[in-house]
Structure 1
């Protein structure tokens, strides 16, 4: 009997609660709509000029972003019209077939090149390689791969290229020597900006200084 009375008490209390709640005025909910914000008056921001918009630069003639041949040097005869198509660029590597396949996967777009000869001592070649970059950061990847290859060589000095984040310059101090040929020294620099990777190469029969490779790399990156 006691247990039954307790249950009836709980039920009665619940019923009273429902009755009280039903007699109350419904609580108004906040409006789902938001107030309309007034639009700022006055002209919008000025669009970037062509000089400030890097995208405008790289969408034009890529060859115009390359350093120009210095006075007193001879233009390299292998340069042609300044463009390297995908096959010609792949041919610069030890395994052109494999590199060609990689470039297709990396969404290669185009490559521009300039080069010159400094007397009989040095040859300089600079390449700008552009990628579509719809699915990957191919310009960055290309730069890092080149850096990895450069760092694998023994007797190599390296320096960061100022203003590039992760760009690097290298001087290989031990020349390649083959019977019947003069010693061949090499220096290189690799960096990237946006969808363009930069490659700077110096080959010479004399040793190559840090100043030579760094000067070219810094000035070329400034043009990007």
Structure 2
């Protein structure tokens, strides 16, 4: 037994005293891009939306209509939010952070505008990565699940948004408060591929179903 232990120790000592063996050079092919920029007119054609997913998902946010004023809210100025900032917009912040992370949250982009002095509109897109879970569908289903129990419109199941597959739009009346103008709101939700769209409209006058439906249809067309 002492012989085995001594032999092992001696072997480690010999190995430790030997100079390190250099590693073989890494195999590396030539660089895939040219050493200098191609001359004007010789650049390759950009990938189509079929071959490049970014073509489908960049520049997809609905723009404000002519005559509307961009909202001065802080989150609108940048138009983007990370996972933490987006999760803070929910009552159950920690729970939503965990769910969104598990669904492979990728990005949030949004815009908002003021129209006709009384109307405020926001459009938000939440995109998820290509993970094992369909994050956009899961997030949309979670939002749909509590809409009928909304305290401002119990039992309101909304109307189906044609052409969206699972989209719905809702119109609510916010309770009037003493000394304040009445408030009305509408919301549309739908999922298209890896993106969930969430649209809100607030006004001091009633909002028609057509108003929220047209907004949702316009955003759907861009996706």
After TM superposition, the score normalised by the length of structure 2 is 0.70
Structure 2 alignment gaps of length 5 or more = 1-45
Shift in Å at residue 168 of structure 1?
A: 0.7
- The correspondence of residues 193-212 of structure 1 with structure 2, limited to 5 A, is 193-212=192-211
* C-alpha separation in 1, matches of 2:94 and 2:162: 35
Q: Which residue of 2 aligns with 1:159?
A: 159
Shift in Å at residue 49 of structure 1?
A: 6.5
Work out whether 1:187 is the aligned partner of 2:186: yes
After TM superposition, the score normalised by the length of structure 1 is 0.70
Q: Which residue of 1 aligns with 2:89?
A: 92
Change (3 A) 1:210 1:157: farther
Shift in Å at residue 162 of structure 1?
A: 1.3
Change (3 A) 1:107 1:157: closer
* C-alpha separation in 2, matches of 1:58 and 1:217: 18
How many residues in Structure 1 have an aligned counterpart in Structure 2?
A: 173
* C-alpha separation in 2, matches of 1:138 and 1:196: 8
Work out whether 1:71 is the aligned partner of 2:70: no
Of residues 136, 147, 150, the one that matches 1:150 is 147
Change (3 A) 1:104 1:75: same
* C-alpha separation in 2, matches of 1:222 and 1:206: 27
- The correspondence of residues 9-158 of structure 1 with structure 2, limited to 5 A, is 50-51=48-49, 55-59=53-57, 61=58, 64-78=59-73, 79-153=76-150, 154=154, 156=156, 158=158
Change (3 A) 1:53 1:70: farther
Q: Which residue of 2 aligns with 1:5?
A: none
Shift in Å at residue 137 of structure 1?
A: 0.9
Change (3 A) 1:129 1:54: farther
Structure 1 alignment gaps of length 5 or more = 1-47
4+ runs deviating over 6 angstroms: none
RMSD of aligned alpha carbons: 2.1
Q: Which residue of 1 aligns with 2:18?
A: none
* C-alpha separation in 2, matches of 1:136 and 1:195: 10
* C-alpha separation in 2, matches of 1:75 and 1:96: 27
Shift in Å at residue 111 of structure 1?
A: 0.7
Shift in Å at residue 185 of structure 1?
A: 1.4
* C-alpha separation in 2, matches of 1:103 and 1:181: 36
Report if the CA contact (8 A) 2:114-2:120 is conserved: yes
Report if the CA contact (8 A) 1:157-1:171 is conserved: no
